Amino acid sequence: MHRLIFRFPRPGKSSAALFQDLEKSVRPTLALAFLTLFAGCATPIKTDFDWGPVASRLRDPAGSTHLKVLGPIYEHAADTNKLNLWAVRPFYSTAAETDEKSASELLWPIEFSWDFQNNHGRRVLTSFYTDFDKTNSNSRWHWWCFPFWFQGRDAHGTNYAAFFPLGGSLHEFLFQDEANFVLWPLYIHSRLNDENSYHVLWPVFCRENNAKNDRFRVWPLYGWNIRHDQFDKRFCLWPFVTWASYQHPGSSGYGYLVLPLWGHMKLENQESWMLLPPFFKYGTSAKKKMGYTPWPVIQWASGDIEKFYVWPLWGYKNYGHIHGGFYLWPLGWWRHLDRTGETVDRYTFAPLWFSESAWRKAAQPPTQQPTASTAPATNCVARYWHLWPLCAYERFGDQSRFRTLMLWPMRHSAPIEREYAPFWTLYTHTTAGTNSDDELLWGLVRRQRRGTESSRFSLFPLVDWSHDHHGASEWNLLKGVLGYERSGTNASVRLLWFGHIGL
């Protein structure tokens, strides 16, 4: 770990090799510790078995295979669509959707890595490494160890390095193509395209003058920012006195603000006034009217945006196909999205409740141009809700899952789901079509139903029972100390796992 954080890689891809070496050394060690407990050999386990929370290999209702050891600690899951999960909790987990899309964690949030197509990234604490094309040794990459060390190669193949706050060069950072500094904030030179700006004792002194911009600042005394043929913005004793003029076609005009007394803006397409800004404001344009009386308590708008707030008690805002609002801000929120082909409804009362439902709209005639509002929603295709910290439910298509407990208050945090959620998930009910599974205390109690084909129940290690639609059935006490089997007209009793007595 120390070599991972403190060794400075040479320009190129050597830092990626360091991160990959760590994963290659950790994963086999963790795998060996847990697989040898129950595998008994180096070959993969391919036979289904159930020893409750001690170890099991079973298929879920959707057909995915799960090998689990020691309750939630070890798990390997795979399905027919090349989705794979491998975890030794709470230390390490990795998930791969395809050969080109994967993610892994080591003691999250300490370490996280991902691969997407040809991109590779890894974070260790505040150290971030990204390789934008792992198949090309000369591609763009960066290694940033916030807030001190920055190194990489930009999209043009230029290497850079910086040690904050002493000095160096940073490329493609904070919306700038390049930033050079010495003893920050003593001197900074930044560049975006062909626009260069110079700063001394940032943010006090600034100067930029080129074909597009003319900027000058002695903050907070006086300064200007001129974008040729677009705007001219100035201040004096910032933020108390500011003014500007605009030359945008169709919206040219002027505006000024004198804090805390008055403000006014008049453009071709709109005009607004402010009294004791920002508390009182009125604005009007061809598309809407709006006002604060006072902000932030009473806010309203009419026109293309419909809005009314009585903050923090209640409010709503409608804009286009998005309708939303709040109640008891910041606790309660709701939103309705009216999209082409579907609608989505979300409701939140943080941190206790969150729900989201997606509804498919009715099919539209082929001659009619699809829009977001021509057809009503007809059936729910996906749904999710959680009541924190008690339980959560989700459904997509014909698959669903209910579980309890739900200690993480946010939805679908992948690292949490892979590394920690199984520890507090005491009970799950999952379905896929007519198949269903129930699991309590990591397999101590388990019920499986496969439509009308078969069903199974177990209370480890006391009893397990199963039967299928052909009439075959089986039950066992103490995992086989005493058992009974029946298939058709044949039946037998089993004693001490090996002895069979026909009936």
Question: How do residues 100-124 score in pLDDT, each as one tens digit?
Answer: 789 999 999 999 999 998 999 999 9
**Range list of β-strands (E), 25-110:** 49-51, 55-59, 65-69, 74-78, 84-88, 92-98, 101-106
User: Which two tokens mark 266?
Assistant: 């008049």
In a domain, 300, yes or no: yes
Percent above pLDDT 90 for the chain:
71
Task: Compute the distance between CA of residue 158 and CA of residue 261 in angstroms, rounded to an integer.
Answer: 51
Give the pLDDT band of residue 46 (cuts 50, 70, 90): low
Segment 305-332 mean pLDDT: 96
- Of residues 414, 354, 420, the one with CA closest to residue 386: 354
Q: For residue range 341-360, what is the model confidence (pLDDT) as tens digits?
A: 889 999 999 999 999 999 98
Query: Which of 290, 311, 332 is the last residue before a domain boundary?
Result: 311
The contacts of residue 187 (CB under 8 Å, 6+ apart) are 181, 198, 199, 200
218 residue type, one letter? V
pLDDT of 216 strictly over 50: yes
Q: Is the pLDDT of residue 235 over 70?
A: yes
Residue 483 lies in a domain: yes
**Residue labelled with tokens 């052909």:** 470
Please provide residue 164's backbone torsions phi and psi, each rounded to the nearest 5 degrees: -85, 135
Q: Coil, strand or helix: which one is 392?
A: strand
Decide if 207 contacts 198 (C-beta within 8 A). yes
Q: Which three-class secondary structure state does DSSP give residue 409? A: coil
Look at residue 44 in the predicted model and tell me its pLDDT: 52
Return the exposure string of 334-361: e unless at least 16 CB atoms fall within 10 Å of the residue's CB, then b: bbebbeeeebebbebbeeeebbbbbbeb
Output the CA–CA distances (angstroms, integers) from residue 96 to 35, 103, 285, 415, in the order listed. 20, 6, 52, 13
CA separation for the pair 53, 38 (Å, rounded): 13
pLDDT at 146 over 90: yes
pTM for this model (two decimals): 0.81
**How many structural domains compose the chain?**
2
User: Residue 179 falls within a domain, yes or no?
Assistant: no
Band (pLDDT 50/70/90 cuts) for residue 493 is confident
Looking at the domain assignment, is residue 195 inside a domain? no
Task: Mention every residue, 6+ apart, whose C-beta is less than 8 A from residue 369.
Answer: none
Instruction: Check residue 412 and give its pLDDT.
Output: 78
Bin 474: left if φ > 0, else alpha if -120 < ψ < 50, else beta: beta
- Please compute the mean of the pLDDT values over residues 64-80 and round it to a whole number: 93
Q: Residue 350 corresponds to which tokens in the numbers above? A: 């943080």
Q: What is the predicted pLDDT for the residue at 45?
A: 56
Asked if pLDDT for residue 241 goes beyond 80, the answer is yes
Signed CA dihedral, 394, 399, 405, 408: sign only: negative
| Least confident segment among 8-12, 212-216, 480-484 | 8-12
Q: Is residue 39 pLDDT above 70, yes or no?
A: no
Low-confidence winner among 20-24, 175-179, 259-263, 380-384 (lowest mean pLDDT): 20-24
Residue range 43-60: mean pLDDT, rounded: 84
Q: Cβ(317)–Cβ(324) under 8 Å?
A: yes
pLDDT at residue 158, rounded to an integer: 94
Residues with Cβ within 8 Å of residue 65, at least 6 apart in sequence: 57, 58, 59, 77, 78, 79
Whether the pLDDT of residue 339 is over 90: the answer is no
Tens digit of each residue's pLDDT (9 = 90 or more) over 271-317: 999 999 999 999 999 999 999 999 999 999 999 999 999 999 999 99
**Residue 93 above 90 pLDDT?**
yes
Q: Which residue has the higher pLDDT, 281 or 21?
A: 281
Compute the distance between CA of residue 364 and CA of residue 374 in angstroms, rounded to an integer: 8
- pLDDT of 478 > 70? The answer is yes
Is residue 90's pLDDT more than 90? yes
Please name every residue paired with 291 in a beta bridge, in sequence order, or none if there are none. 282, 300
| Tokens encoding 102 | 């994967």
Beta strands in 52-91 (DSSP E): 55-59, 65-69, 74-78, 84-88
Residue 197 located in a structural domain: no
Q: How far apart are CA 201 and CA 155, in angstroms?
A: 30
CA–CA separation, 14 and 4 (whole Å): 11
- Pick from 25-34, 69-78, 379-388, 463-472: least confident: 25-34
Number of H helices, E strands in the chain: 4, 46
User: Is residue 287 one of the residues assigned to a domain?
Assistant: yes
Q: Are 241 and 258 in contact (CB under 8 A)?
A: yes
Separation of alpha carbons 203 and 153, rounded Å: 28
* Cα–Cα distance for residue pair 271/282, rounded to 1 Å: 8
Q: Of 260, 294, 311, which residue sits at a domain end?
A: 311
Q: What are residue 421's phi and psi, to 5 degrees?
A: -55, -40
Q: Write down which residue in 270, 291, 311 finishes a domain.
A: 311
Report the mean per-residue pLDDT for the chain. Answer: 87
Residue 31's pLDDT band (boundaries 50, 70, 90)? very low
Whole domain around residue 492: which residue ranges?
461-503
Cα 220–Cα 226–Cα 231 angle in degrees, nearest 5: 115
Give the number of residues written for the chain. Answer: 503
3-state secondary structure of 422: helix
Q: Is residue 359 part of a domain?
A: no
Give a yes or no: residue 468 inside a domain.
yes
Cα–Cα distance between 243 and 134 in angstroms, integer?
50
pLDDT value at position 491? 82
